[in-house]
Amino acid sequence: MKRKLIVQKYGGSSVAHSERIKRVAQRVIATKHQGADVVVVVSALGDTTDELLQLASQVSQSPSERELDMLMATGEQVSVALLAMAIHAFGEDAVSFTGAQVGILTDGTHTKARLVKINTHRIVEELHKGRIVIVAGFQGVNLNQDITTLGRGGSDLTAVALAKSLAADVCEIFTDVEGVYTADPRLVPQARKLDAISYDEMLELASLGAQVMQARSIFVAKRFQIPIHVRSSFSAREGTMITHSVGAMEDIVVSGVSLQKDEAKVTIRDVPDKPGMAAQIFRELASHGLNVDMIVQNVSREGSTDLSFTVVKTDLVATLRVTRQVSHRIGTGEVTTDEGVAKVSIVGIGMRSHSGVAARMFEAMARERINIEMISTSEIKISCLIRKQHAERAVRTLHQAFGLGKRR
């Protein structure tokens, strides 16, 4: 029988200091002793990334991206070496690698490189020697041998991509929570850990700000059908499996409720009601790399209309600058912003085939007298923009309205 191959990924908080590194070492060894080959992907130790960024800011106000990658990549290199040492200290054989050493080839986009391919030759060779292989997450190398990094969620991506390239049986993502929940347990005491969730639902949850995994890695996992197991590095309990189809035989309509408070609303008054006005505005924003989330345009009133959209708050200043330029050019009314908003969403693959989900959502909000300012929907998600002070109450209300606290 073919030996099982497991890729495990441990984030920065799992290796924040030596005691935690030793605990990860024991966990990795235990997995191997259960009869599997193990490839481990590790992030930088706890606060290392911030410390390195601070060093950079002390010598340069706008450090070059190539050199930032050179600098940041040391964080994971420290982690893999220390984890290998810790595993050795427990008597098991292990060997660490940088992204470059195991041939994680990316394009040349420094600080947010895209994976091109992984040459697994060296990893396979070391696994055959019976060794645990430890790979630095988040980093790769371009065709020119320059070090690149993969951007946010890069270590997850390294793990998922390695699982794909090595045809691993599962990719385990270790985090500081027990798995994926029907809602944030800090907001909703009745929130329940899901045993399984589909890639599509997880993608929506990730883009709605669930901290568990970045959308990018889930997208790759979905594309290559890599089973992902999100679980806690602090307990041995099973977490949440992310796989292709979940509950096909069941009647799960809504899987979870999520809350996002990092967006702001921008409103442009009195946009001339002529074809191409909205297009001009959003093309200009896009050309500045500014991503718009929800968009609402009111019905026309005396030849002009109000246009509102949301952006993440960190993009608000740039967005305002660009928006005011365009609005001046095309002759609109004033541009206003509103940071007192929150976005509450429900996600569920079952929505595809169930009507009335939106209605049930809006009714629940109405019963609580929570006004909905904007709505956006996808096949498996409905989001509502509301006043920020109602956010937590809205999440609890929706969690209950869809019966998410009950075992199914």
Instruction: List contacts with its own copies (CB under 8 A).
Output: 17-18, 21-22, 25, 52, 55-56, 58-64, 66-68, 70-71, 73-74, 77-78, 80-86, 88-89, 95-96, 98, 100-101, 122, 145-147
List residues bridging with 381 in a β-sheet: 347, 378
CA-based R_g, the chain, Å: 23
Q: How far is the CB of 142 from its own copies (least distance, A)?
A: 11
Q: How far is the CB of 106 from its own copies (least distance, A)?
A: 15
CB-wise, 4 or 66, nearer to its own copies?
66
CB-wise, 100 or 322, nearer to its own copies?
100
Q: Which long-range contacts (CB under 8 A, 24 or more apart) does 221-227 make?
A: 221/160, 221/163, 221/171, 224/164, 226/160, 226/163, 226/164, 226/168, 226/171, 227/169, 227/170, 227/171
Q: How far is the CB of 95 from its own copies (least distance, A)?
A: 7
CB-wise, 135 or 206, nearer to its own copies?
135
Q: How far is the CB of 155 from its own copies (least distance, A)?
A: 17
CB-wise, 67 or 392, nearer to its own copies?
67
CB-wise, 63 or 209, nearer to its own copies?
63
Nearest residue to 294 via CA among 405, 395, 381: 381
Q: How far is the CB of 200 from its own copies (least distance, A)?
A: 39
Nearest residue to 22 via CA among 92, 109, 97: 92
- 104: part of which helix (H) or strand (E)? strand 104-106
Task: Evaluate whether 216 touches 186 at the Cβ level (below 8 Å).
Answer: no
Q: How far is the CB of 156 from its own copies (least distance, A)?
A: 22
Task: Evaluate whether 398 touches 344 at the Cβ level (below 8 Å).
Answer: yes
CA 148 to chain centre: 20
**CA 195 to CA 192: how far, in whole Å?**
9
Q: What is the DSSP string of 255-288?
A: -EEEEE--EEEEEEEEEE-STTHHHHHHHHHHHT
- Residue 158's SS3 state is helix
Q: How far is the CB of 21 from its own copies (least distance, A)?
A: 5
CB-wise, 81 or 278, nearer to its own copies?
81
Task: Evaluate whether 33 touches 113 at the Cβ level (below 8 Å).
Answer: no
CB-wise, 45 or 177, nearer to its own copies?
45
